[in-house]
Structure 1
Amino acid sequence: MTIFSLTEAELRQRRSLKWQTYDADVLPLWVAEMDSAMLPAVRASLDAALDHGDTGYPFGDDYADAYRASAAARWGLDLAAQQVRRGGDVMNAVLCVLEATTNPGDGIVITTPVYPPFWQVTNGYRRHTVPVALTAEGRLDLDALAAAFAEPDVTAFLLCSPHNPTGTVHTAQELTAVAELCVAHGVQLVVDEIHAWLIDPGTTFVPTLAVPAAQRAVVVTSAGKSWNLAAFKAGLYIAGSEADGAVRRLPPLALQSTGHLGAIAHTAALRHGQDWVDQASAEIAAHKRLLTDLLHALLPGARYRAEPGTYLAWVDCTRLGLEDPYAHFLTAGRVAFSPGRNFSPEHRQWVRINLAASPTMITRAVERMAASLRLAA
């Protein structure tokens, strides 16, 4: 049975952000929630906890150990127990690392377009954002990063790996070059790897800490995106072998904000959901091919280059001649995407499409896009 096979009627019973933000006649393919049922092993673990009234505070290292086992099996990354510690959700963990390793007024580099909370966490807490654009191919611009790191007020680089929204999977060579630049300029490297398991078949994800030069980095991650567990807050800090100082500076509550049920759910996903996420990744890769074919047939003016990371598609609508593609498709097509301007002010003509949906839903969405353009003509 396919993972992304739930019907719209089933999905509209949900009370989450994706399905409640827009009117009932709008197809929502925006925020990063999956249209999938819960992994049975996660459901069983939560049912067992609830049956026993096990709703207290988290204890132990099961979640960290489950991550270490997954990292070793999937990527050959061997981590010592002391390198992996529980935290809150990923963006709050990022905030804790930045608060611990930078000072008010410092500049923090991000590579744009990028996940909107990156802008919020770097600009909303007495720091300022230093945006560095990706190349036209969606790769890291090493020369531009070197120039940014050389600025005297820049003290950290927040990297998204794999990159959201483009789906770019950074290579070992790119990660090595970035890490070396960070060391040379005294810049703290902080990496969000929450999409690490969602990689197209045939592509290898390179964990930052598999790179020898990146051992001063701090990685934050969770099972939340890959197994659709955003409702269960539980993140992890993974410190490079030379990053103990950065972790020691974390505020005390940073390591105590995991939810107990969150840790149980994420542990079960990591322990028992590796085959599930492989199947999900294969289905998503097929959805990327489907979107490519649909856009070619129905909206040839839209430009989309499928990349192997994440379940998100980054689509350039510039040639469609719309003042605001997001607003047009919402009002005229009754389909909701994420507006490109949220990822970068320079990307108002882009939309991000969530492909963790059924092929039927994706097809209907593109058909509505095409119909809306015919109405506007």
Structure 2
Amino acid sequence: MTPTPTAPSLDELRRRTSEKWRTYPDDVLPLFVAEMDFTIADVVADAITARVRASDIGYAGSPGRVGEVFSGFAQRRWGWQPDPAGVRLTTDVSVVIVEALRVLICPGDAVIINPPVYPPFFDMVPEAGGRVVEVPLISDDAGYRLDVDGIGQAFADGAKALLLCSPHNPVGKVHNAEELSWIAELAAAHGAFVISDEIHAPLVHRPSEFVPFLSVSDAAREVGVAAHSASKGFNIAGAKCALTVSASERIGSLLDRQPEEVGFRTSILGRAATEAAFEHGEPWLDAAVGLITDNLNLLETQLAQKIPTVTMRRPAASYLAWLDFRATGLGDNPGLPILDRGRVALHYGPAFGTQGTGFARLNTACSPEVLTEAVDRIARVVAGD
């Protein structure tokens, strides 16, 4: 029998101590931070509990079996079998990105990002010593896509790295093999690197298929670092374990320059949770993706029926809905009046770059009842009630 994740009642959820449930008062529906309401997989909970009961909560030290089980997971899900020896651990994907950039670029080097994009990207680049160069996503009637020509021009102008979001947060775009191959060739031609944040990869919806950057070509393997984690797919962000994945001797030797502490900071509980998730958690994951796609269906219907002026291009990955409020008259940051008058907390669109003006991001990884109530509240705000 497939274990099914569930969304506990609001009373139960409000007893949680994570940011999602402690930032706002109890009358607010918190649909902002990228954390699922769903209960975690039993195999993951059991793995953490077993380490605690064994008093095995010291320093992680080594990567354990994470490289091996991640390689198996990647082969089953995406047809890609990375060498476990190319997997290093650290605390989270943000650390993967910053610490990889530190050894790949020089102070002051330009690093490309593609807004609207995960807001910390704007801060991670300067934290690592680089400076941000924006090459926004193209948005047209066909949807969102990478501006490959613009990325190529930025490389030609001297950018030394691209910080890629794949699948893309907040729009849920799953980049295809052709786009990724072109980017790899461009980076190689200009002596640049690509760091691909693939944290949402386990949550791609059928019939879309995730393409790992390091799988597309020899050029990609020579210029690329991939950032992975079980944190988003299995709802264990606080467990603090992420993977820095390389697939060439060249990149591996550069990553060897990182301080030993980068890996040493990994949580031993996170390592145990990650091993269990990648090795035994796929039935739970498939069920979670099913709940998410059902909720996206519900959201589409609810918006069409109750707030037709709010539109959404359906994401192909994850549980984040990028909502366009520009026709509602709620202003540049619609999340503000929605929080103030509707008591629904969304992630403010402008945080994702100027391309987020008039937008907000909504988390659909909740119960259908909470999602429906959120739409009802937002509808009242849009109507001016």
1:326: which partner in 2? 335
Once the two structures are superposed, residues 139-164 of structure 1 have per-residue CA deviations (whole angstroms, 9 ceiling, x without a partner) of 10111111111112x11110011000
Question: Aligned partners of 2:378, 2:270: CA distance in 1, in Å?
Answer: 37
The match for 2:121 among 101, 107, 118 is 118
1:364: which partner in 2? 373
Once the two structures are superposed, residues 32-64 of structure 1 have per-residue CA deviations (whole angstroms, 9 ceiling, x without a partner) of 110011211111111111111111121453112
1:304-323 → structure 2 map (5 Å cutoff):
304-323=312-331
1:176 is displaced (CA, Å) by: 0.6
1:254: which partner in 2? 262
1:40: which partner in 2? 42
1:221: which partner in 2? 228
1:199 matches 2:208: no
The match for 1:89 among 69, 89, 92 is 92
1:3 is displaced (CA, Å) by: 2.3
Equivalent position SS for 2:114 = strand
2:176: which partner in 1? 171
Question: Aligned partners of 1:60, 1:314: CA distance in 2, in Å?
Answer: 36
The match for 1:105 among 87, 108, 112 is 108
Equivalent position SS for 1:308 = coil
1:61: which partner in 2? 64
1:272 is displaced (CA, Å) by: 1.2
Alpha-carbon contact 1:100-1:251 (below 8 Å) kept: no
Alpha-carbon contact 1:159-1:189 (below 8 Å) kept: yes
Question: Aligned partners of 2:227, 2:264: CA distance in 1, in Å?
Answer: 15
Question: Aligned partners of 2:52, 2:4: CA distance in 1, in Å?
Answer: 28
Given the two structures, how large is their TM-score scaled by the length of structure 2? 0.94
1:355 matches 2:364: yes
Equivalent position SS for 2:124 = helix
1:267 matches 2:272: no
Equivalent residue letter for 2:138: T
Q: 1:88 to 1:2 in 2, by over 3 A?
A: closer
1:65 is displaced (CA, Å) by: 1.3
Alpha-carbon contact 2:112-2:154 (below 8 Å) kept: yes
Equivalent pairs counted in the alignment come to 375
Question: Aligned partners of 2:164, 2:101: CA distance in 1, in Å?
Answer: 12
1:147: which partner in 2? 153
What is the percentage of aligned positions where both structures have the same residue?
38
Structure 1: gaps (5+ residues): none
Equivalent residue letter for 1:62: R
Question: Aligned partners of 1:327, 1:46: CA distance in 2, in Å?
Answer: 38
Equivalent position SS for 2:380 = helix
Question: Aligned partners of 1:263, 1:174: CA distance in 2, in Å?
Answer: 33
Alpha-carbon contact 1:101-1:249 (below 8 Å) kept: no
Alpha-carbon contact 1:201-1:282 (below 8 Å) kept: no
Q: Which runs of 4+ in 1 moved over 6 A?
A: none
Given the two structures, how large is their TM-score scaled by the length of structure 1? 0.96
CA-based RMSD of the aligned residues comes to 1.4
Question: Aligned partners of 1:259, 1:173: CA distance in 2, in Å?
Answer: 37
